[in-house]
Amino acid sequence: MDLFAKKLLAWFALHGRKQLPWQNPRSAYFVWVSEIMLQQTQVTTVIDYFNKFIRRFPHIKALAESSLDEILLYWAGLGYYSRAKNLHRCAQIIHHDYNGQFPNEVSILQTLPGIGPSTAGALVAQAFDQFAVILDGNVKRVLCRYHAVAGDLNNRDTVNTLWQYATQHTPHQQLADYTQAIMDLGALICTRSKPKCTDCPLAKSCIAWQTKRVVDFPQKKPTRILPKRTGIFLLFIHANREILMEQQAARGIWANLWSLPSITSIKELRENYSKQLTNKKTLPTIQHRFTHFQLTLNPILINVHTKKSISSKANQRWVALDQLHTLGLPAPIKKLLMSLE
């Protein structure tokens, strides 16, 4: 075991996180669900979602036999909804092809939906305490600074270099503790901004700290102005009791979730819903930021006297207001609907 791992494990014994819900018990199923949720999402956000998810789907069989709609209901708000779809598909494969038991080999795990090299490594190390290497965002940041690795983190050569360092430092004992330790160091000490270098157990041998260049690593991405998109969302409400909801296509940012019918222009509104416009009301706009763009939602509330006056499509249905909580809703749509109460 090299000095890097020894110092990290000593720090973890005193300061590491040991009471996260997926650590008790540290089963393969718990670790897997948490790792998928933690992709692109912080621990503080994931904890509540994880607890609710596990209460409803306590084991792989329950998840595999549930509908995607119900899984999305418990995932709504976490974003990156393809993760939930992959979780469902993977659960079905594990349940049917592996008798409900997770493989303990990285190479096999990587063939399953939604599991990449780092997630597979985390699963093998955390659940089975076997040698496996991880390289998530926190680990990349720690290694970039420790070894002063220049270059864009999206560059293949840079990532390959980091994988080499990650493999070099990963010990062959205490794998579960070590992988949690290096993730914790990145999340708690070697943070993206304002890192607590004076509290870091690796500071004395960290090149970035010793050369006073911590702010230079990892290489910052050029500032990018997010493109803006606008959508007009129609909130058809009948007798103040039911709302017309529309399930989204299987692909897209809100894949398979339930949203509101939307149009691209006021002209389209006039052409298709001229009879209902006497009962319309424009609601305050809602801003929502995605990874790749900024969305402005322009909601229009339209009171409907009879549901037959709206020709609904196959992917639409009227839902009672007190039943909206049973649908998987995108965060901004949920925010909008809650504002009606």
- Report the distance separating Cα 170 and Cα 173, nearest Å: 9
Cα 265 from chain centroid?
A: 32
| 316 neighbors 327 (Cβ within 8 angstroms) | no
* 294 backbone dihedrals φ, ψ, rounded to 5°: -110, 130
pLDDT of residue 276: 60
The domain over range 3-216 is classified in CATH as 1.10.340.30: yes
- Report the distance separating Cα 187 and Cα 46, nearest Å: 14
The model's pLDDT over 282-298, given as tens digits with 9 standing for 90+, comes to 999 999 988 889 999 99
Cα 152 from chain centroid?
A: 23
* Residues lower than pLDDT 70 in the chain: 274-278, 311, 341
- Report the distance separating Cα 14 and Cα 198, nearest Å: 16
The model's pLDDT over 237-293, given as tens digits with 9 standing for 90+, comes to 988 889 999 999 988 889 899 999 998 888 887 777 766 656 788 999 999 988 889
Residue type, 122: A
The domain over range 228-338 is classified in CATH as 3.90.79.10: yes
Output the 3-class SS for the chain. CCHHHHHHHHHHHHHCCCCCHHHCCCCHHHHHHHHHHHCCCCHHHHHHHHHHHHHHCCCHHHHHCCCHHHHHHHHCCCCCCHHHHHHHHHHHHHHHHCCCCCCCCHHHHCCCCCCCHHHHHHHHHHHHCCCCCCCCHHHHHHHHHHHCCCCCCCCHHHHHHHHHHHHHHCCCCCHHHHHHHHHHHHHHHCCCCCCCHHHCCCHHHCHHHHCCCHHHCCCCCCCCCCCEEEEEEEEEEECCCEEEEEECCCCCCCCCCEECCEECCHHHHHHHCHHHHHHEEECCCEEEECCCCEEEEEEEEEEECCHHHCCCCCCEEEEEHHHHHHCCCCHHHHHHHHCCC
242: annotated active-site residue: no
Q: Please report, for the chain, the start and end positions of each structural domain, with discontinuous segments joined by +.
A: 3-216, 228-338
- Report the distance separating Cα 216 and Cα 333, nearest Å: 39
- Report the distance separating Cα 157 and Cα 178, nearest Å: 25
pLDDT of residue 341: 63
pLDDT of residue 275: 65
Catalytic residue from among 35, 65, 70, 242:
35
